[in-house]
């Protein structure tokens, strides 16, 4: 029990040091981080996709307004194939991914989307965020088990279900804020889990 608590504290210290660097650097993109400002401990971190890495509402709305049946195989192929065209990268979150990679952390992506047409999405995420394709997972149901299997220390997401999955898996939950323009309004009660919140992360 003591060992677990020490590991948890180390993770929190690492995150707060890491997050402080991000916050202070947003005003000055030329800030040069020395290795002394980042805790050396390497982490395993995960990110959600929709409303976390990407503002994907335009992509989903296009699929909903098409002739395909919502949530069918054809629907998911259309969505997963077209993020490059219609979704927008959230720059604040991309900076977080970049800092984790610079620190040598292992970065994973776990989405609740169905995997149909998933190779398109994997290619896009890998190229855009420099995450290996093998580290991108489709988990349409509860993400808890995958977070456990990957032994993630931190999981970033926008929804309440992301926060719950992280907590149940023993990972630190970090809330990414949704854009007010997001078409998805459910499962969003910021701070209800006592989670850390990334300010100004709507975009």
Active site residue 160: no
> Which helix (H) or strand (E) is 79 found in, with range?
helix 73-81
Rg (alpha carbons) of the chain, rounded to whole number: 17
As a whole number of angstroms, the distance between CA 30 and CA 124 comes to 27
Active site residue 83: no
Catalytic residue among 50, 51, 158, 162: 50
Q: What is the 3-state secondary structure (H, E, C) of 174-202?
A: EEECCCCCCCCCCCCCCCCCCCEEECCCC
**156 and 128 Cβ atoms separated by less than 8 Å:** no
Catalytic positions: 48, 50
């Amino acid at each position: 029990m003591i060992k677990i608590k020490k590991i948890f504290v180390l993770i929190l210290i690492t995150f707060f040091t890491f997050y402080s660097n991000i916050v202070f650097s947003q005003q000055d993109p030329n800030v040069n981080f020395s290795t002394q400002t980042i805790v050396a401990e390497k982490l395993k971190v995960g990110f959600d996709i929709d409303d976390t890495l990407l503002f994907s509402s335009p992509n989903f709305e296009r699929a909903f307004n098409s002739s395909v049946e919502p949530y069918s195989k054809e629907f998911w192929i259309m969505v997963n194939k077209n993020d490059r065209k219609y979704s927008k990268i959230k720059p604040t979150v991309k900076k977080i991914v970049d800092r984790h990679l610079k620190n040598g952390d292992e970065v994973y992506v776990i989405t609740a989307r169905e995997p149909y047409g998933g190779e398109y999405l994997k290619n896009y995420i890998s190229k855009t965020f420099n995450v290996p394709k093998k580290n991108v997972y489709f988990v349409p149901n509860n993400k808890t088990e995958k977070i456990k299997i990957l032994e993630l220390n931190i999981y970033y997401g926008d929804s309440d279900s992301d926060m719950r999955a992280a907590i149940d898996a023993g990972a630190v939950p970090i809330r990414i804020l949704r854009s007010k323009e997001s078409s998805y309004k459910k499962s969003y009660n910021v701070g209800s889990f006592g989670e850390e919140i990334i300010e100004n992360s709507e975009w």
